[in-house]
Chains A and B, each alone.
Chain A
């Protein structure tokens, strides 16, 4: 009974913690610009993140180490320094986008410009991490994040052509604007296969003191949580495809988001959107902030744990304070959160091999995971998908920025 509860809670927290501003923005843009056609990108990213999260949990449970810990040990400081710079840079952009997401929700709720909310939101993120425990952040915020299931209810009630939804789960070539199509596909892959998700998950497994007995539970949580999470992203895409695309509306600003749920839920749809964006982005902002601090402390061997007093881990605490401060700045000076989000997600996709390739080496190293090493399927699925994301990113990002045709 205890295990069933643990699995249920694990899946609920994974679902609640899955959706963030990147998934919402990229899915909404995909739906408005290409109708249902890009569902395959979410499916592909979802399959990859299921494998990666399962591997991150298995690695922590068997080796007793987090991923940064083992990468520093196995590949040395020079590679770790490179990975650290890349991951922190990308994570700070994504953190800024998430803080921007919360600010947008507050702008929608109050009418005050999003940049005015940057400092209060940063303070809330800091305060919850400062005073809260890992359990509060992981479970509390994620359970509140279940409000994002309103997208799934909305997508069901709007009654899309289900056969076309199913067909779109398979990749297809664009009919028009092919550079933008591939750029959005890359952004979706970056938003879905977020390194912070599996890095945070592996740190969480250590915080929760997982051991080999958790391997089965981990598999169910990773598969269930990430699958349901992907379904929420698909629901956002369906809503955008059914509401924006037929009217020729381009998704260019977050203020357009409430119109995704108001046709289904009326007045309450507006507030469901505000709550969904606000809570999902607040949870993601906290997780990314912690991930940056975990990465720093684990890589340099400092004391770290969200369950300890800040006084007992001063450098860890300073690391997350600096991350929040830097992450808040782009929003404070008024950089458009949507632009930041879309490019942040594309950049994430382009840098995936930097963290995933060494991780795959670790997952095949007997001295770390013993008999629980990856099979050929686990290796192949992750390698093919991140390879595809990388190639698409390297081709599509410059073309999108410099306007190729």
Chain B
């Protein structure tokens, strides 16, 4: 697998096809004398900011990590074996739903 081509920036969904964001980063585990291996994928503003400039990254909160073992890389998307709404990936979505959108009639 080509991680950059097949995994990075792909649409991320949970097992119920709920969109969670995109694969914003990939964490490799590198130890002396061993082959590097993929440890996690990351979702979050900090990871994105870090890709633009490490200075910007210091302003954001820590990203959400999903263990590589829970991840399946498909053709158009990456599926994680988690419940999206119980993860920090949808923290903002749920906050806006509760505090803003849910308070407007007809939502």
Contact = CB atoms under 8 A, between A and B. Distances in A.
21 contacts: A65-B76, A69-B11, A76-B9, A76-B51, A77-B9, A77-B48, A77-B52, A78-B52, A130-B104, A301-B12, A301-B19, A303-B93, A304-B19, A309-B107, A310-B104, A310-B106, A311-B101, A311-B102, A314-B93, A314-B94, A315-B93
A72 B76 contact: no
Contact of B11 (A130, A301, A317): A301
Q: Is the interface of A mostly helix, strand, loop or mixed?
A: helix
B28 interface: no
Contact of A300 (B22, B52, B102): B22
B96 interface: yes
B101 A303 contact: no
Interface in A300-358: 300-304, 309-311, 314-315, 317-318
Give the contact-size bracket for chain B: 20 to 34
Contacts of B73: none
Contacts of A315: 92-93, 96
Q: Pick the most buried of A73, A309, A310: most chain B CB atoms within 10 A of its CB.
A: A73
Contacts of B22: 72, 300-301
A64 interface: yes
A131 interface: yes
Interface in B72-107: 76, 92-94, 96-97, 100-102, 104, 106-107
A311 B52 CA distance: 31
B106 to A, nearest CB: 6
A310 B18 contact: no
A77 B96 contact: no
A303 B100 contact: no
A317 B93 CA distance: 10
Contacts of B93: 302-303, 314-315
B96 A301 contact: no
A130 B24 CA distance: 30
B51 A77 contact: yes
A109 interface: no
A157 interface: no
Nearest to A64: B76
Nearest to A302: B19
A249 B1 CA distance: 66
B20 interface: yes
Interface in A250-302: 300-302
B9 A314 contact: no
